[in-house]
Structure 1
């Protein structure tokens, strides 16, 4: 390990709204990091009513707390990032955890890959108790192991079991995720990354115009500026709970499909050639639309199904691709007619 003075600084942003019952574990998982470089933590209280800001300030005086009116996740994350001048930025939600080696391993990989401006660890989904519904999304056709949302959550009784666990390696070496891979869906979990602060601002921050899936929109923009280097170790632990967004079939891919025109518009302003190639390649759109349709069926959301159907002729230009989509949708309808009861919204 290099001397502390020579190690890059890391800034961590934790957005929270009424998360006083869980944020303590998240903060502790940052404080237990083995990383020897300077780490700054900013908690952005997004209009909470449970006293989380006072609780954090009282228990962890070194953590900076910023309170804002209820504004949503993208605004909260952007506000926190604006307060930091560190070399790297990280974002972690107020109920997720890091393995003690998380920052150390990511920074080590950044030294090994000098041109890397974004690095993302592997993700483990966990719950503190068994879940009755563990539906997951199918694997995306992207490099590397199965993405986090494709893996049923593990039952881990408490945070100490994470702190004392060995680091799990998913592969032998890092790999690249390019923009074309993100067009198929989001292959990474927000909270697993470190991103160069200048790269964050160059990408425009988290898009506040998106009503949902703002992290997907952000990583799409980031990936246009260069690849995301996925690292072999799974050191980010995302908490899932019954009926939560991350427990549902595919983390709201129905909403993501509804925002695809906006995302393509954002790409178009940055790199028209990338968009032209994407539109000419039906496979990413076919995958995204099918996943959106599956999500809408599983969660019994007819409006999302209608939005998805409306996007089909716009994004699938040739009838064989449309036929494949309609066939897949028909199979999914048959499956979910006999599926378990509806998953309640969280």
Structure 2
């Protein structure tokens, strides 16, 4: 049995998955099996994967979404620990060798994560992550109560989790197709053990333009709020409030960008979501209405 199973879920990732796989095989930690789930790709993904022969195990399925693809990969694997790498991300060579010993040394640790640097689709650095990014009060090992204070911005490419914890969580919630599955999983995983941090930037995370994908993911954001509220009740009130606040910031940012690009109709779609989150805010309605008047479009504001 390998120590680690690395799962790569890919959908139409022919342009990027080779780079991701090369970063896996460049790891200084070698007790690692690689399972790639081709989630109904219609581009040349299958051809790219075929170059790796028996170095990887390929699971081919109809398109079912990111959560279902990752879960299928875990079911086909056997490692004690499970790691994930998105098809457009990369690991630094020390990613696994720095993460695995943390889990080995602490049986109470459910999940270990590292930091990331953000790159654009051309591979250029656009930002880096620190302990305070997306983590309550800069805490690297949060209690469950702290996890429910606000969302944690740790994506699957950054963490390694014990298989038994993954299975007890039921994997990634398959009602999430493209969004929020990681936030939901992190909350569930924290119920089964502590989190530990390797404070090194060992992941290169590709960041793409927000619009229209961030808007298309809004129905799943609504589902996420519903599920969190059902599971954690009043104790998640702060989490839900902060999650909604972050979504408002994203929608406003997209609206401003779209206005600057001369796309008021698309901007209105984003501002309509702001009104959804802030139904009692007169300012939200004023921002929306101003998009109908091109001479005042620049007043959408922060």
| TM band (smaller chain) | 0.7 to 0.9
- The equivalent of 1:232 in structure 2 is 199
2:227 corresponds to 1:262: yes
* Residues 116 and 229, structure 1, Cα contact 8 Å, conserved in 2: yes
Structure 1 residue 124: deviation in Å? 1.1
- The equivalent of 2:61 in structure 1 is 68
- The equivalent of 2:7 in structure 1 is 13
Structure 1's 64 and 205: CA in aligned 2 closer, same or farther, altered over 3 A?
A: same
Structure 1's 78 and 53: CA in aligned 2 closer, same or farther, altered over 3 A?
A: same
TM-score, normalisation: structure 1? 0.68
- The equivalent of 1:162 in structure 2 is none
2:273 corresponds to 1:304: yes
**Distance in 1 between residues matched to 2:114 and 2:159, nearest whole Å:** 6
Gaps of 5+ in 2: 255-266, 291-296
User: Greater share of helix residues, 1 or 2?
Assistant: 2
- The equivalent of 2:239 in structure 1 is 284
2:143 corresponds to 1:178: yes
Structure 1's 242 and 330: CA in aligned 2 closer, same or farther, altered over 3 A?
A: same
1:102-138 CA distances to partner (integer Å, 9 max, x unpaired)?
000001222343321211111111123669x99x9x9
* Residues 207 and 214, structure 1, Cα contact 8 Å, conserved in 2: yes
- The equivalent of 1:35 in structure 2 is 29
Number of aligned residues = 275
**Distance in 2 between residues matched to 1:258 and 1:108, nearest whole Å:** 36
Tell me whether 175-184 or 22-31 shows the greater mean CA deviation.
Answer: 175-184
Structure 1 residue 101: deviation in Å? 0.4
* Residues 271 and 284, structure 2, Cα contact 8 Å, conserved in 1: no
Structure 1 residue 190: deviation in Å? 1.8
* Residues 257 and 308, structure 1, Cα contact 8 Å, conserved in 2: no
2:162 corresponds to 1:196: yes
* Residues 133 and 153, structure 2, Cα contact 8 Å, conserved in 1: no
Structure 1's 130 and 30: CA in aligned 2 closer, same or farther, altered over 3 A?
A: closer
* Residues 118 and 227, structure 1, Cα contact 8 Å, conserved in 2: yes
RMSD of Structure 2 on Structure 1 (CA): 3.6
**Distance in 2 between residues matched to 1:96 and 1:244, nearest whole Å:** 20
1:193-244 CA distances to partner (integer Å, 9 max, x unpaired)?
1100010010111111235312211212112223322221121110123447
Structure 1's 24 and 143: CA in aligned 2 closer, same or farther, altered over 3 A?
A: same
* Residues 229 and 236, structure 2, Cα contact 8 Å, conserved in 1: no
- Corresponding residue to 2:71 among 74, 78, 86: 78
Gaps of 5+ in 1: 146-174, 269-274, 313-325, 341-346
**Distance in 2 between residues matched to 1:93 and 1:61, nearest whole Å:** 20
**Distance in 1 between residues matched to 2:283 and 2:197, nearest whole Å:** 30
**Distance in 2 between residues matched to 1:230 and 1:253, nearest whole Å:** 30
* Residues 254 and 291, structure 1, Cα contact 8 Å, conserved in 2: no
Structure 1's 39 and 198: CA in aligned 2 closer, same or farther, altered over 3 A?
A: same
For 2:175, what is the secondary structure of its paired residue? coil
* Residues 275 and 285, structure 2, Cα contact 8 Å, conserved in 1: no
1:265-344 alignment runs, 5 A limit = 265=230, 267-268=231-232, 275-279=233-237, 283-299=238-254, 300=267, 301-309=270-278, 337-338=299-300
**Distance in 2 between residues matched to 1:84 and 1:12, nearest whole Å:** 8
**Distance in 2 between residues matched to 1:231 and 1:291, nearest whole Å:** 26
For 2:99, what is the secondary structure of its paired residue? helix
Structure 1 residue 20: deviation in Å? 1.2
